[in-house]
Amino acid sequence: MQHPIFAAVKKQKRAIVLEDVLVQDYAAEGKCLARVDGKVIFIEGTVPGDVVDVQLQKSKKDWAEGYPLRFKKYSADRVLPFCSHFGICGGCQWQSLPYEKQLLYKQKQVNDNLSRIGKVILPELFSIIGADETRHYRNKLEFTFCNKKFIPSDEFRKLKSEGAEIINEGGFGGFHAKGVFDKIVEIDTCHLQHEPTNLIRKAIVAYALENNLPFYDIKSHQGWLRNVVVRSATTGELMINIVLGYDEENQTKLFDQLLKQFPQITTLLYTINKKFNDSIFDLNPQVYFGKGSIIEQLEDFQFKISPKSFFQTNTKQAEKLYHIAREYAELDGTQTLYDLYCGTGSIGIFASKNAKKIIGVELIAQAIEDAKENAALNNILHSVFVTGDVIDICDDAFFETHGRPDVVITDPPRAGMHEKLVKKLLEIAAPIIVYVSCNPATQARDIALLDEKYAVTKIQPVDMFPHTHHIENVMQLKLKL
Ligand code: SAH
């Protein structure tokens, strides 16, 4: 019963193996924990209740880290993963737990972080808001094309013993394989996005194979077909951006064929990427068909999404998240609202109807361009969006120019807020802070600092990413009297 992920991991010399370890609880970052001889062992790829032999990768005085070499007993909580690529593809690692259990662990994770790290007086957490749709929830999916595919060693052995032909070179579409940089996991059906996403990927693969067009070789950085990004909106609009290593005379034939085969595509772009990395941020996507962007709708607000725009990837849950953030802001039409780490301005725009003024701050200039465009699209005239680092922008002069904040909504990346910003927020003392976080550990650290002047009044976790360990949490903080 060897776990397929670990078949790829090289066996280490004199590696320590702990036998018959009972996995006791969920820890964090997708890892579970067990206690052996008073030492905490963090184990990946398991669920509480499993009994495993653990191969240690790191062993310190009080803790160690490892992966399951063998499963001796599977937890009674386990359910059969619905995806045939589970364990090999790096995504959706919690499929082996029922969704209710996933939610329970996420709720507990928020609670544990806040009480252990935050150590402040807390109201009772509201129950985590789960997703109605636990599959097909992503509005953006990126596949990689590659000339080599990864075959897990047990499948390899099986094919060999059957005398079957092993084909691991040619042209494939899928996701990067965990721990193997130059090969991809070939995907048949990915359940993260509604069709025609998988069908589009397969049609592109088939076209390239039929026409002898080379798939990208990650090691030598040669080849034509690199990636495809599919973005869909609840409005029905569908954008695809095909990333290619170089211009190829006949590429329009592929584009025309896709448009004919998939009339759902409302805009098609292609991007030439001659770089060694996959990021398209410094590249120029070319519009081949349609308007080059799609429109997403949350309530009656519209958002323009371009190939490079950031947008929350789970539209339906984003709507719920923004709804809570807006409710916690307690706006009555008279307040000045700051939207810090605003991205493309979506939270501020969502809350705009009941704010006197919105001021958004964001590091990425392109996102601020989108935010301004989105504000215009929704006829929001009482907004200002500023590009820059929050710790440089949010100084006394800034607050003097735009008005003292009545409400601050802050939505930092995983690292949480910079201490300098937390200090500024304490100084400026807005009556309400709404803290949206994708990392309860850094959120807990920050509220411990804010505790000097703020009381936590509401806590609401939201699940944005079913079958993954990622957690989103919204908090309302009020100035202590
Ligand atoms: N509130 C937005 C985006 C949140 S993601 C939404 O819901 O869509 C966090 C954002 O913080 C990212 O857009 C990132 O570019 C931005 N960011 C990261 N560090 C920053 C900093 N130091 N100053 C300003 N913005 C920052």
Domain spans of the chain? 4-73, 104-133+314-479, 140-298
Average pLDDT over residues 343-351: 96
What does the DSSP 8-state code read for residue 352?
G
| CA distances to 6, 83, 185 from 87, in Å | 9, 9, 11
Is 329 a residue whose pLDDT tops 70? yes
Q: Which residue has the tokens 């005239």?
A: 381
342 C-beta closer than 6 A to ligand 1: yes
What DSSP letter does each residue of 308-349 carry, written as one string?
T----S-HHHHHHHHHHHHHHHT--SS-EEEEET-TTTHHHH
**Sequence-separated (6 or more) residues with CB below 8 Å from residue 22:** 34, 49, 50, 51
* Lowest model confidence (mean pLDDT) among 24-28, 226-230, 313-317: 24-28
Is 6 a residue whose pLDDT tops 60? no
Q: What is the pLDDT of residue 8?
A: 38
Residue 471 CA from chain centroid, whole number? 10
Q: What is the pLDDT of residue 466?
A: 97
Of 229, 313, 221, 213, the closest CA to residue 268 belongs to: 229
This prediction has a pTM of 0.91
Q: What is the pLDDT of residue 4?
A: 43
Please state, for a pLDDT cut of 90, what percent of the chain lies above it: 85
Q: What is the pLDDT of residue 180?
A: 87
Average pLDDT over residues 271-293: 96
Mean pLDDT of all residues in the chain? 93
What does the DSSP 8-state code read for residue 123?
P
Reply yes or no on domain 140-298 having CATH 3.90.45.10. no
State the distance from the centre of ligand 1 to the C-alpha of 426, rounded, in angstroms.
20
Is 355 a residue whose pLDDT tops 50? yes
Q: What is the pLDDT of residue 230?
A: 98
Report the catalytic residues.
438
Taking the C-alpha atoms of residue 439 and residue 200, their distance in angstroms, rounded to an integer, is: 34
Is 3 a residue whose pLDDT tops 70? no
Does residue 285 have a cis peptide bond before it, meaning omega lies within 30 degrees of 0?
Answer: no
Using 50, 70 and 90 to split pLDDT, how confident is the model at 14? low
Q: What is the pLDDT of residue 177?
A: 84
Among protein residues, the one with the nearest Cα to ligand 1's atom 20 is: 363
Please state, for a pLDDT cut of 70, what percent of the chain lies above it: 97
Closest ligand 1 atom to residue 436 Cα is 1
Contact 457/44 with Cβ under 8 angstroms?
no
Using 50, 70 and 90 to split pLDDT, how confident is the model at 5? very low
Average pLDDT over residues 336-347: 97
Average pLDDT over residues 164-186: 91
Q: What is the pLDDT of residue 152?
A: 85
Reply yes or no on domain 4-73 having CATH 3.30.70.2190. no
Ligand 1 pocket, mutate which of 337, 363, 419, 473 (most atoms under 8 A from CB): 363
Burial 238-267 (b: 16+ CB within 10 A, else e): bbbbbbbbeebeebeebbeebbeebebbbb
Taking the C-alpha atoms of residue 472 and residue 162, their distance in angstroms, rounded to an integer, is: 47
389 C-beta closer than 6 A to ligand 1: yes
411 C-beta closer than 6 A to ligand 1: yes
Q: Which residue has the tokens 């001796």?
A: 72
Is 10 a residue whose pLDDT tops 50? no
Average pLDDT over residues 365-386: 95
Q: Which residue has the tokens 């905490």?
A: 40
Reply yes or no on domain 104-133+314-479 having CATH 3.30.70.20. no
Average pLDDT over residues 459-466: 98
Is 1 a residue whose pLDDT tops 70? no
pLDDT, tens only, 195-243: 999 999 999 999 999 999 999 999 999 999 999 999 999 999 999 999 9
Is 144 a residue whose pLDDT tops 70? yes
Is 319 a residue whose pLDDT tops 70? yes
pLDDT, tens only, 389-433: 999 999 999 999 999 999 999 999 999 999 999 999 999 999 999
**Sequence-separated (6 or more) residues with CB below 8 Å from residue 31:** 42, 43, 44, 65
* Lowest model confidence (mean pLDDT) among 153-162, 180-189, 288-297: 153-162
Q: What is the pLDDT of residue 250?
A: 86
99 C-beta closer than 6 A to ligand 1: no
Based on its alpha-carbon atoms, the radius of gyration of the chain, rounded to whole angstroms, reads 24
Burial 25-57 (b: 16+ CB within 10 A, else e): ebbbeebbbbeeeeeebbbbbbbbbbbbebbbe
The SS3 assignment for 364 reads: coil
